[in-house]
Every structure is written in C-alpha cells, then in structure tokens.
Homo-oligomer: A and B are copies of this chain.
Amino acid sequence: MTRSRRLEGLFAPVLTPFRDDLSPDAGRFAGHCRRLLDDGCNGLVLFGTTGEANSLAADERIALLEAVVAAGIDPARLLVGTGLCALPETVRLTAHATGLGCAGVLMLPPFFYKGMSDDGLYRAYAEVIERVGDDRLRVYLYHIPKVSGVAVTFGLIERLVASYEAAVVGIKDSSGDWDNTRGLLERFPEFTVFPGNEMDMLEALRRGAAGCITATANINAAGLRRLYDNWRTADAEALQDAASSVRRAAQTQPMIPGLKEVVARVSGDAGWLNVRPPFVGLSEAQSGELFASLEEAGFIHFRAAA
C-alpha cells in the first residue's frame, strides 16, 4: 500500500448548529462548511470537540455527514470525528466516513475509562482498523487529554504505526503543550501533525507541522489562512501575533458557546446560539465581554459585519 497524499493546511473543526428543539440543523451546517472553505479553510473537521460531537447520537453524525456531502462539499477535504467509547459505534462511523471518500477520520481513544494501558488503547484502535478493513482508511489520532482524560502517548503511536503504517498517518495534538507538539514533530517526522490551536502555529510549521486544526477558524478563517500561506515570509510574526490575539480574546469566555455567538452575530442568524447540554449559552454580560475583547484584539471579520 502507498500512503495517500499528506493532508495540509488550515482546518476548521466545524461548529454544529441546533434548532430550538436542539435537533441538528443540516442546512445551516452545510452552509457554514461552505462559508469556511470560501473564507480560506483548506479542509474541515466534522464532529470534533468544538462541534459538540459527543453530544450527537451516531445516527445524527451519519445524517449530518451525508447532508454535507450531498450539498457538494468535497469529502476529500473532510476529516470526520468517529472515536466513541463503544467499539461497534466507532467501527460503524469510521466505515461510513471512509466509504463516503472522506480524507480521513479523527479518532479519539475510548474515553470513559481512565488510566488504561497502552496495550488496551492499542487494542481499541487495532480492533477498529481491522474491523473496518478498508485500504482507504486514514486515521488521525486525537490527543486531547484535558478533555478526554485519555492520552495518546508516543509509545502508543509507535506501536500503531509499526502495525498499521498505511492507515495510521497523523495526529491532532490538542494537548496545548508545546513540548508535546515539538516532541511529536521530532520523533515522528513522517507523521501528519496538526496542532490543535494556533498559539504556536508558526513555530510548529517551521518544525514540519502539516498545518493547524483550530476552533477559532470558525470565526477567523481568513486571518489564519493568511498566516498559513505566509509562514515563510517576513510577515509571519505579525500574522501569528494577530491570530494569537484573536485566540486569546475568544478564550475569555467559554469557547463553544462563544464561537456560536460570533457566528450568530456575523451571519445575522440567531439560530446559531443554540447549544446542547452540558453547555449553556453565554449570558448577556459574557457575550458583551466577548465582543469587547474581540474588538480590542482587532478582529476585523466581526467589526466589518457588526
């Protein structure tokens, strides 16, 4: 087997819109996907942490993915989150996304039980890969230990790559720990490494990162794409500083409801405000503080639309 072409660039982990009854809104979702690509994203992650994916039923993920592909979004630009706690559901979602021609899947380890051994986590990934049994499968491991509570260690990656080199091709590192990202880039130079936020994007690109997958691409795709396209130029540091400022501003309030506030404001569509539990929407005060922080950070996209 040969490796498929390496994925590269700016990826947005797409926010998932809900109707007032909290059902997923496939039309708004596909529209947002289209806008993000138009605004500069090289690709999209459907059903990541930012997308409230674990608040979605497996059937809901399948219906949303099919709606996005039916709406004309190229599946070759999609990474699809498929890692659940239950083996059969992870297999089902992974086979579905792979069968649709998606570029790859972003796979959490099973995340209910904590303190599991690398043996157990290896077994979890291996069972999925074997059961899906599709040469097109490309797995990007999802390391987000502060949320999932389960780390994807270097030792686990080594074992997976040794067994499934053609299938296990990359990782999203959402540790927020630069030492971990740098370590991945050094130890796995053939691996496709996406830092999970843009705070160290420039430094990561200089060391061989494939790009960046970051929540704020939902609101700042153009700025982040400029940084990605110009990281070798003299403008790079200034573009990194601008992107980091927006990120810091976005982080002043709970991130997912906050990003939805911004998308609602920019699009003029208040339907974007809905979040599934365990999230709650921002209070009016929180919302005001968020927009003030973004203004102060010089967030052009918002200012132009407001």
Interface of A toward B, CB cutoff 8 Å: 22, 49, 54-58, 60, 85-89, 92, 109-114, 116-117, 119-121, 123-124, 127, 146-150, 276-280
Contacts and interface: CB of A to CB of B under 8 A. Distances in A.
Contact of A279 (B92, B113, B149, B280): B113
A55 B110 contact: yes
Contacts of A86: 54-57, 60
Given A57-B58, A60-B88, A120-B277, 15 more contacts: A54-B85, A54-B112, A54-B113, A55-B86, A56-B86, A57-B88, A60-B86, A112-B148, A113-B278, A117-B278, A117-B280, A119-B280, A121-B277, A123-B277, A123-B278
Contacts of A54: 85-86, 110, 112-113
Given A55-B85, A55-B87, A88-B60, A279 B112 contact: no
Contacts of A150: 278
Contacts of A147: 112-114
A114 B127 CA distance: 27
B57 A89 contact: yes
One complex includes copies of this chain to the number of: 2
A86 to B, nearest CB: 5
Q: Which of A54, A89, A113 has the most CB of B within 10 A?
A: A113
Contacts of A277: 87, 110, 120-121, 123-124, 127
A271 B148 CA distance: 31
A118 to B, nearest CB: 10
Nearest to A55: B86
Nearest to A113: B278
Contacts of A276: 87
Contacts of A123: 277-278, 280
A260 B71 CA distance: 49
Nearest to A116: B278
A199 B280 CA distance: 38
A267 to B, nearest CB: 24
8 contacts: A54-B113, A55-B86, A55-B110, A55-B112, A58-B89, A111-B112, A116-B278, A120-B278
